[in-house]
Amino acid sequence: MIGKKFLKVKIYYMFFICIVALISCSDDLEEELKGQLSETSISTESDAVALIDGIYNGFLAGGWDYYASGVLARATDGITDVFVLNDSNYRNLETYDWTDEDIVADLWASIYTVIDRANWAVYLIEGIDDSVFSDTSKEELIAEAKFLRGLAYYDLTGLFGAVPLKLEPTRSDEVGLARTDLEIVYAQIESDFEYATTYLPGRSNTPGKASKGAAYGLLAKTQLRQLKWTEAGENIDKLIALGEYNLFTEDNFLKLFYESNVLDDEFIFSIMSLGESYSTASNHHLKFFTPWGYDTGWATVGLPENIYNTIEPEDERNEVYFDEYPYLYGGAIKSAMDDFGFAINRKFGSYNRDVTAPGTGYVAYQNYGISKMSVPVLRYADVLLLKAEIENELNGPTTAAYEAINQVRNRSGLANLSEGLTQEDFRTAVLAERAIELAGEGQRKDDLIRQGVFVSTLNQYAQSQGYPLTVTEDHKLMPIPRTELDLNPNMEPNPSNSF
């Protein structure tokens, strides 16, 4: 229950977890704040920054949950046709066997932890005297907190639909909250992102910090969930007009995902990892996207054959998605399709660690849980493809729509998309391009739902994989965690709770 199981935390405990979160990324604040943080002592700009840092840290959840370790990707892309999950812990997600109602309960808990941290930050920073702020304005810090809260609610609604909307900090045990109408939750998410577009800088010095550009992009995505094509298009255009972001063209597509390129202009917003140690400020994402026999990964997951077979031979993205790979022991060339039933997707593999563990083969296993790789939330390629999609929906396949999709295709060595497509054919082309470009980044489920092909596409996928079920509209939302339903008498289940 929100307030008993996951959010019923005493005020001093909330402050404690914020400080634990901060120690890894704000060592200079540790001595100043540790053991002193309380509601009455929050009074300086450093205190405010510490609260914001605590929210950011929550998105990695200690390196093992939410955006870390591929958890969110498995609950989004993992139930679609761009991400095969054959690892035992998540196989039931892949096969739509959701009889365990707590199948994504940890995500529910982690996301509400972030929301509560954001609520505390907004409340406490609003109470700090304006005169103490010099390096960063009070409004900008509040905007960061609201941006992060908006992102958390965006993720939560994408997983569960209507959820309890909580905007005040949790002080003590509370009666469990009922679900808020989805339209009201979306209105609040839009409000948080709109506030962020007003007070945040056009671009931060790192994609790991909230910015005006990121807020425009996520505001547009929230509007697209509601099929507000015109409003979404306006915000995508505002993002592009900032002139702050570009496609990565300095090297091949694969290199975009190397540790050394986490600050590239293509990344508009990412969940960043400092990669300092196994247990501190790292992200174990890299261990959960590739099989052991390839690069010492811990997961039997990859790109399904149906998507892999659509990649054109001259496409540079073949360096990211591939069938043949050198076996870890001895280097013999093997087939991932034969060994695992899918192509390897190495976007987040160990061999991309050119900073913390450069090398290949078993040498890439050194410092095996440490990574400075980020988790992309919003890339410029994603934005351009949304621009093409929105333009097509509003006006058909115009020159602007072609220009947007062709930028992404040309970056990967492909020729321009064929001219003269119908609106429906162009829509299909954009959807296919997004599947290849963004596989493993958590975008596919929203894409399929937005275009009205979720059920048909995933039934074709389930049939191709031999899964004995029919995918329905009820599979769009995950079960509300059983622990939440048991503790909260005001909480109603999703249809998937009855699977």
CA-to-CA distance for 295 and 102, rounded, in angstroms? 31
3-state secondary structure of 333: strand
Give the pair of three-digit tokens for residue 382.
């994603």
CA-to-CA distance for 34 and 56, rounded, in angstroms? 18
Question: Which residue, among 379, 371, 390, 353, has the nearest Cα to 441 in the 3D structure?
Answer: 379
CA-to-CA distance for 68 and 288, rounded, in angstroms? 9
Summarize pLDDT for 154-200 with one digit per residue, the tens: 999 999 999 999 999 998 767 789 999 999 999 999 999 999 999 99
Across-strand partners of 333? 326
- The answer to whether residue 30 scores a pLDDT higher than 70 is no
Summarize pLDDT for 270-305 with one digit per residue, the tens: 999 877 666 665 677 778 999 999 999 999 999 999
Tell me the pLDDT band of 34, cut-offs 50, 70 and 90.
very low
Q: What is the pLDDT of residue 3?
A: 46
CA-to-CA distance for 172 and 7, rounded, in angstroms? 9
**Integer angstrom CA distances of residue 304 from 78, 376, 447, 456, 489:** 11, 21, 17, 17, 41
Summarize pLDDT for 229-241 with one digit per residue, the tens: 999 999 999 999 9
Residue 396, Ramachandran bin (φ over 0: left; ψ between -120 and 50: alpha; else beta): left
Across-strand partners of 322? 344
The DSSP element (H or E) to which 370 belongs, if any, is: none
User: In the predicted model, what is the mean pLDDT of the chain?
Assistant: 90
Check if the beta carbon of residue 412 is closer than 8 Å to that of residue 434.
Answer: no
Q: Please state the rounded mean pLDDT for residues 438-465.
A: 97
Tell me the pLDDT band of 420, cut-offs 50, 70 and 90.
very high
The DSSP element (H or E) to which 84 belongs, if any, is: strand 84-85
Q: For residue 135, which phi and psi values (nearest 5 degrees)?
A: -75, -40
Q: What is the pLDDT of residue 268?
A: 98
Share of the chain above pLDDT 90, in %: 80
Across-strand partners of 302? 84
Q: What is the pLDDT of residue 273?
A: 85
CA-to-CA distance for 205 and 307, rounded, in angstroms? 35
Residue type, 188: Q
Summarize pLDDT for 375-411 with one digit per residue, the tens: 999 999 999 999 999 999 999 999 999 999 999 999 9
Q: What is the DSSP letter of 245?
A: -
CA-to-CA distance for 199 and 209, rounded, in angstroms? 13
3-state secondary structure of 343: strand
Tell me which of 1.20.120, 1.10.150, 3.10.10, 1.25.40 is the CATH number of domain 1-89+103-145+158-181. 1.25.40
Q: What is the dihedral of CA 228, 162, 124, 67, to 10 degrees?
A: -80
- The answer to whether residue 362 scores a pLDDT higher than 70 is yes
Summarize pLDDT for 71-100 with one digit per residue, the tens: 999 999 999 999 999 988 899 999 999 999
Measured CA angle at 157 (ends 155, 163), to 5 deg: 130
CA-to-CA distance for 210 and 204, rounded, in angstroms? 7
Q: Which stretches of 127-204 are DSSP H helices?
A: 138-160, 182-199
Measured CA angle at 100 (ends 96, 104), to 5 deg: 80
Tell me the pLDDT band of 462, cut-offs 50, 70 and 90.
very high
Q: What is the pLDDT of residue 279?
A: 65
Domain boundaries, the chain: 1-89+103-145+158-181, 273-373
- pTM for this entry: 0.93
Summarize pLDDT for 92-122 with one digit per residue, the tens: 999 999 999 999 999 999 999 999 999 999 9
Angle, helix 229-241 to helix 212-225, in steps of 10 degrees:
160
Share of the chain above pLDDT 70, in %: 91
3-state secondary structure of 290: coil
- The answer to whether residue 137 scores a pLDDT higher than 90 is yes
Q: Please state the rounded mean pLDDT for residues 303-320.
A: 97
Check if the beta carbon of residue 43 is closer than 8 Å to that of residue 129.
Answer: yes
Q: What is the DSSP letter of 347?
A: T
Q: Please state the rounded mean pLDDT for residues 326-351.
A: 96
Tell me the pLDDT band of 26, cut-offs 50, 70 and 90.
very low
Question: Which residue, among 125, 128, 104, 112, has the nearest Cα to 170 in the 3D structure?
Answer: 112
Give the pair of three-digit tokens for residue 173.
């045990």
- The answer to whether residue 207 scores a pLDDT higher than 60 is yes
Q: Which residue shows structure tokens 């999609």? A: 389
